[in-house]
Structure 1
Amino acid sequence: MYRRVVRALPPWLAHALRAQRGPVPWSAVVRGALAAGPLLLVAVVVGHPSVGVVAAIAAMLAGINDRPGSRRASVRRIGVPALAGAVGMVVGTYVGENTGAVALTLLLTGLGLVAGSISAVGPVASAAGTQVLVACAVGAGMPLPEPGWLRALAFLAGAGWLLALRLLLPTPGALAGDYRFDGEREAVADVYDAIGALLDAVGTQHATNRRAALTAALDHAQDALTGPRLRRYASSGVERRLHAQYAAALPLAEAATALAWAGESHCGRASAGARRLAAAVRGNMHTGPLPAPARSMPALRALDDALLHAAEVFDQEGKGSDLHTRQRTAGDLLRAVVGVGGREYGLRVALCFGAGVAIAQALRHAQWYGPHEQHWYWLPATVVFLVKPDLGPLVSRVLCRAAGTVLGALAFAGFAALLPRPEGLVALVAVSGALIPVATRHFAAQTAVVTVLVLALVMVGGEPQASVSRIGETLLACAIVLVVGHLPMPGQRGGGVRARLAAAGSAAQAYLAHVLSESDDRAARWALRREAYRTLAEARGAIARAAAELPALARHTEGADEVAGTLERLVDTTTACAVHLDDTGRLTPRHTERLAELLDELESGRRRLGLREPELPVAV
Structure 2
Amino acid sequence: MSRRTVALSLPPWLAHTLRAQRGPVPWSAVMRGALSAGPLLLVAVLVDRTSLGVLAALGAMLAGINDRPGSRRASVKRLGGPALAGASGLLVGTYAGAHVGAVVLTLLLTGIGLIAGGFSAIGPVASGAGTQLLVASAIGAGMPLPEPGWQRALAFLAGAAWLVGLRLALPTPGAIVGDYRFDGERDAVAAVYDAIAALLDATGGPEATARRAALTAALDHAQDALAGPRLRRYASSAAERRLHGQYAAALPLAEAATALAWAGEAVSARVGEGPRRLAAAVRDNAHTGPLPAPNRSAPALRALDDALLHAADAFDQAEGSDLHTRRRTATDLLRTAFGAGGREYGFRVALCFGASAGVAQALHQARWYGLHEHWYWLPATAVFLVKPDLGPLASRALSRAAGTVLGALVFAGFAAVLPRPEGLVGLVALCGALIPVATRHFAAQTAVVTVLVLSLVMVGGEPQASAGRIGETLMACAIVLIVGHLPMPGRRGGGVRARLAAAGEAAHAYLVHVLSESGDRAERWTLRREAYRTLAEARGAIAVSAAELPALARHTEGTDEVAAVLERLVDTTTACAVHLDDTGRLTRRHIEQLTELLEEFERGRGRVGLRAIELPVAV
| TM-score bracket relative to the smaller structure | over 0.9
How far apart, in 1, do the equivalents of 2:13 and 2:526 lie?
36
Which residue number corresponds to residue 174 of structure 1? 175
1:233: how far off?
Answer: 7.5
Gaps of 5+ in 1: none
Which residue number corresponds to residue 273 of structure 1? 274
Which residue number corresponds to residue 89 of structure 1? 90
**1:261-340 equivalent positions in 2, closer than 5 A:** 261-316=262-317, 318-340=318-340
Q: Deviations over 1:72-99 (max 9, x none)?
A: 1100000000000010010000100000
Which residue number corresponds to residue 538 of structure 1? 537
Q: Deviations over 1:489-523 (max 9, x none)?
A: 11111011000100000000100000010000000
The amino acid that maps onto 1:612 is R
**1:127-138 equivalent positions in 2, closer than 5 A:** 127-138=128-139
How far apart, in 2, do the equivalents of 1:44 and 1:497 lie?
47
State yes or no: 1:589 paired with 2:588: yes
Contact 2:248 2:320 in 1 (8 A): no
The structure-2 alpha-carbon separation of the partners of 1:384 and 1:3, relative to structure 1 and needing over 3 Å to count, comes to same
Which residue number corresponds to residue 365 of structure 1? 365
1:231: how far off?
Answer: 10
Q: Deviations over 1:205-252 (max 9, x none)?
A: 110000000000000000000001179986111110000000000000
State yes or no: 1:244 paired with 2:245: yes
Which residue number corresponds to residue 354 of structure 1? 354
Which residue number corresponds to residue 551 of structure 1? 550
Structure 1 runs (4+) deviating above 6 angstroms are 230-233
**1:205-244 equivalent positions in 2, closer than 5 A:** 205-229=206-230, 235-244=236-245
The amino acid that maps onto 1:160 is A
1:617: how far off?
Answer: 2.6
The structure-2 alpha-carbon separation of the partners of 1:325 and 1:232, relative to structure 1 and needing over 3 Å to count, comes to farther
The amino acid that maps onto 2:378 is L
The alignment partner of 2:229 has SS state of coil
How far apart, in 2, do the equivalents of 1:380 and 1:588 lie?
59
Contact 2:516 2:618 in 1 (8 A): no
1:5: how far off?
Answer: 1.7
Gaps of 5+ in 2: none
TM-score (structure 1 length as normaliser) = 0.98
How far apart, in 2, do the equivalents of 1:181 and 1:370 lie?
50
The amino acid that maps onto 1:263 is G
Contact 1:234 1:240 in 2 (8 A): no
Which residue number corresponds to residue 106 of structure 1? 107
1:608: how far off?
Answer: 1.8
The structure-2 alpha-carbon separation of the partners of 1:391 and 1:230, relative to structure 1 and needing over 3 Å to count, comes to farther
Which residue number corresponds to residue 148 of structure 1? 149
Which residue number corresponds to residue 471 of structure 1? 470
Contact 2:63 2:160 in 1 (8 A): yes
How far apart, in 1, do the equivalents of 2:483 and 2:355 lie?
9
Q: Deviations over 1:255-314 (max 9, x none)?
A: 000000011222322200000000000000001110001111100100000000000111
1:370: how far off?
Answer: 4.2
How far apart, in 1, do the equivalents of 2:507 and 2:301 lie?
24
Contact 1:324 1:526 in 2 (8 A): no
How many residue pairs are counted as aligned between the two chains?
618
1:320: how far off?
Answer: 2.6
Percent of aligned pairs sharing the same letter = 80
Which residue number corresponds to residue 18 of structure 2? 17
The alignment partner of 1:172 has SS state of coil
The amino acid that maps onto 1:213 is A
The structure-2 alpha-carbon separation of the partners of 1:230 and 1:248, relative to structure 1 and needing over 3 Å to count, comes to farther
1:2: how far off?
Answer: 3.0
Q: Deviations over 1:459-502 (max 9, x none)?
A: 11111101001001000000110011100111111011000100
The amino acid that maps onto 1:242 is L
Contact 1:88 1:133 in 2 (8 A): yes
The amino acid that maps onto 1:277 is L
How far apart, in 2, do the equivalents of 1:340 and 1:609 lie?
13
Q: Deviations over 1:86-119 (max 9, x none)?
A: 1001000010000000100111100100000000
TM-score (structure 2 length as normaliser) = 0.98
Q: Deviations over 1:130-176 (max 9, x none)?
A: 00110100010000000000001000100000110000000111111
Contact 1:344 1:496 in 2 (8 A): yes
State yes or no: 1:574 paired with 2:585: no
How far apart, in 2, do the equivalents of 1:544 and 1:186 lie?
27
Contact 1:273 1:307 in 2 (8 A): yes
How far apart, in 2, do the equivalents of 1:574 and 1:162 lie?
44
How far apart, in 2, do the equivalents of 1:370 and 1:252 lie?
61
Q: For the aligned residues, what is the CA RMSD?
A: 1.3
The alignment partner of 2:292 has SS state of coil
The alignment partner of 1:5 has SS state of helix
Which residue number corresponds to residue 190 of structure 1? 191
How far apart, in 2, do the equivalents of 1:101 and 1:466 lie?
24
The structure-2 alpha-carbon separation of the partners of 1:490 and 1:153, relative to structure 1 and needing over 3 Å to count, comes to same
The structure-2 alpha-carbon separation of the partners of 1:561 and 1:234, relative to structure 1 and needing over 3 Å to count, comes to farther
State yes or no: 1:411 paired with 2:410: yes
1:19: how far off?
Answer: 0.2
Contact 2:187 2:283 in 1 (8 A): yes
Q: Deviations over 1:343-395 (max 9, x none)?
A: 00000000001001100000011111549x52100000000000011111110
How far apart, in 2, do the equivalents of 1:608 and 1:77 lie?
36
How far apart, in 1, do the equivalents of 2:605 and 2:131 lie?
33
Contact 2:60 2:163 in 1 (8 A): yes
**1:477-516 equivalent positions in 2, closer than 5 A:** 477-516=476-515
How far apart, in 2, do the equivalents of 1:406 and 1:362 lie?
24
How far apart, in 1, do the equivalents of 2:397 and 2:231 lie?
39
